[in-house]
């Protein structure tokens, strides 16, 4: 589908991240996997821009497929990397993620019933996730804060998937970047459409459901998730469907 002017979808069939354009300045919402560097560079060149035009990287949460090139962008562009305080320790020490985040259920329980559940973890490994560089210098934000970065998004804390999961909302009922707080493709279970990721990738399902209720109060016509296709039916309807489908 065609996205609103100034919004570019990046990544691959399993992992999304996004570029916001405001004048000559750019913001990344999430930062994909290490293997996505070439695709980002090529897309920027096609737009007549370069990595040096990126002023900020907004990380929806501290999982390796969402900040894979954040350190490199920061180093090359001088871009500030923003993340919620709760997930900052993961970005500073990605190899110690399990100290700060643990899922409710083992992935093995899903893989026994559905071997294709391993597709996404294997894709992340092949795409360099395990070599993701730490990001030592970070900026944090308050819940509800409008960030002084290109695009002026509002940060809405939506925990559950991780403790620091955050949705970034563009002004004017435009777009909600939900990260993994609300997705439209759970490759582990095979579910399509608005849903929560399964317990193998959810830290606190009770909090995750409560965050969907928060999302249901927002105004946004378009939902751009970390995994899956854009949802054009509005964030309130997406949140309702996510609550209805539950956590598996």
Give the helix/strand (H/E) hosting 183.
strand 183-186
What are the tens digits of pLDDT across the range 205-242?
A: 999 999 999 999 999 999 999 999 999 999 999 999 99
CATH number where 144 lies: 3.60.15.10
The count of structural domains within the chain is: 1
Residue 248, both tokens = 């598996």
The answer on pLDDT for 65 being more than 80 is yes
The answer on pLDDT for 1 being more than 90 is no
Closest CA to 144 of 159, 154, 134: 154
In the structure, what pLDDT confidence band is assigned to residue 153 with cuts at 50, 70 and 90? very high
Q: What pLDDT is recorded for position 74?
A: 98
Residue 2 lies in a domain: no
Residue 1 lies in a domain: no
Q: Does residue 138 contact residue 83 with C-beta atoms inside 8 Å? A: yes
Residue 162 belongs to domain spanning: 7-245
Q: What percent of the chain has pLDDT over 70?
A: 100
In the structure, what pLDDT confidence band is assigned to residue 174 with cuts at 50, 70 and 90? confident
Within 8 A by CB and 6+ apart from 51, the residues are 40, 41, 44, 73, 76, 77
């Amino acid at each position: 589908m065609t996205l609103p002017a100034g919004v570019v979808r990046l990544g691959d069939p399993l992992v999304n991240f996004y570029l916001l354009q405001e004048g000559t300045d750019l913001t990344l919402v999430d930062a994909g996997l290490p293997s996505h560097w070439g695709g980002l560079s090529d897309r920027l060149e096609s737009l007549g821009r370069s990595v040096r035009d990126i002023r900020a990287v907004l990380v929806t949460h501290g999982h390796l497929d969402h900040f894979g090139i954040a350190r490199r962008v920061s180093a090359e562009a001088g871009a500030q990397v923003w993340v919620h305080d709760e997930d900052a320790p993961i970005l500073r020490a990605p190899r110690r993620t399990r100290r700060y985040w643990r899922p409710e259920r083992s992935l093995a329980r899903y893989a026994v019933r559905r071997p294709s559940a391993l597709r996404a973890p294997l894709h992340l490994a092949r795409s360099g996730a395990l070599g993701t560089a730490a990001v030592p210098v970070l900026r944090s934000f308050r819940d509800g804060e409008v960030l002084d970065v290109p695009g002026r998004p509002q940060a809405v804390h939506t925990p559950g998937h991780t403790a620091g999961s955050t949705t970034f909302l563009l002004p004017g009922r435009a777009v909600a970047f939900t990260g993994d707080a609300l997705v439209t493709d759970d490759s582990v279970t095979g579910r399509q459409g608005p849903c929560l990721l399964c317990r193998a990738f959810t830290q606190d399902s009770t909090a995750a459901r409560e965050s969907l209720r928060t999302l249901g109060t927002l105004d946004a016509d378009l939902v751009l998730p970390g995994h899956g296709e854009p949802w054009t039916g509005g964030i309130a309807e997406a949140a309702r469907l996510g609550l209805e489908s539950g956590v598996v």
